């Protein structure tokens, strides 16, 4: 099982898409193990996007991410990182395929609704920025056996 960080960005929150987006992840079979509605501070945004510091879009990105509340999610599942990224769609809404979150809800190349960790290392780092270990819950879902084939050594 993998756990990944998802951020529903200010445009998703302001447009009232929180429930519709979370439902897509739950419908897919991913488990919500942490969630927060929060306003990101400039300091936290700078840490989260430090790899982009110095790039022309960086100041606007930090300003956008701190402009309004966001919803931060920790999602768990087999292959959760790749699944979430595929569900999110191409970075720019204008290029995202229909059926993806960005393809169905976005047209802007600046406001792209959602962030998702791109690797296990990034997920671990990013989850640590937004959640304490106590914030992430391990819990058994009653329907787990209907999401994964649990007959072998590993969920499939």
Question: What does DSSP assign to residue 77?
Answer: E
Q: Where are the domains of the chain?
A: 2-132
**Candidate list 48, 52, 115, 125, residue with the active-site label:** 115
Residue that is written with structure tokens 């190349």 in the block: 109
- Predicted pLDDT at 109: 85
pLDDT at residue number 91: 93
Is 10:68 a contact under the CB 8 Å cutoff? yes
Calculate Rg over the CA atoms of the chain.
16
Q: What does the pLDDT read at residue 1?
A: 93
- The distance from CA 50 to its chain's CA centroid, rounded to whole angstroms, is 18
Residue 6: φ, ψ to 5°: -125, 135
Q: Which two tokens stand for residue 119?
A: 């690797």
Mark whether 115 is an active-site residue: yes
Burial environment of residue 104 by CB neighbours within 10 A (0 to 12, 13 to 18, 19 or more): middle
Give the DSSP H or E segment for 69: none
pLDDT in tens, the chain (156 residues): 999 999 999 999 999 999 999 999 999 999 999 999 999 999 999 999 999 999 999 999 999 999 999 999 999 999 999 999 999 999 999 999 999 999 999 999 889 999 999 999 999 999 999 999 999 999 999 999 999 999 998 999
Class level of CATH domain 2-132? alpha beta
Q: Specify the residue for token string 């959602």.
A: 114
Contacts of 116 (CB under 8 A, 6+ apart): 4, 5, 6, 7, 81, 84, 85, 88
In this prediction, residue 100 carries a pLDDT of 98
1 contact partners, CB below 8 Å, separation of at least 6: 76, 77, 78, 80, 155
């Amino acid at each position: 099982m993998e756990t990944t960080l998802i951020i529903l960005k200010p445009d998703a929150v302001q447009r009232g898409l929180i429930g519709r987006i979370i439902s897509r992840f739950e419908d897919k079979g991913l488990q919500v193990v942490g969630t927060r509605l929060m306003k990101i501070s400039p300091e936290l945004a700078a840490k989260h996007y430090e790899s982009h510091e110095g790039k022309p879009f960086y100041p606007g990105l930090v300003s956008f991410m701190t402009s309004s509340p966001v919803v931060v999610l920790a999602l768990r599942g087999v292959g959760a990182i790749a699944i979430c990224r595929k569900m999110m769609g191409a970075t720019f809404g204008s290029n995202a395929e229909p059926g993806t979150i960005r393809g169905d809800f976005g047209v802007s190349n600046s406001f792209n609704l959602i962030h998702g960790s791109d690797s296990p290392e990034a997920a671990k780092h990013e989850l640590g920025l937004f959640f304490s270990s106590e914030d992430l819950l391990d819990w058994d879902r009653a329907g787990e056996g209907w999401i994964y084939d649990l007959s072998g050594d590993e969920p499939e």
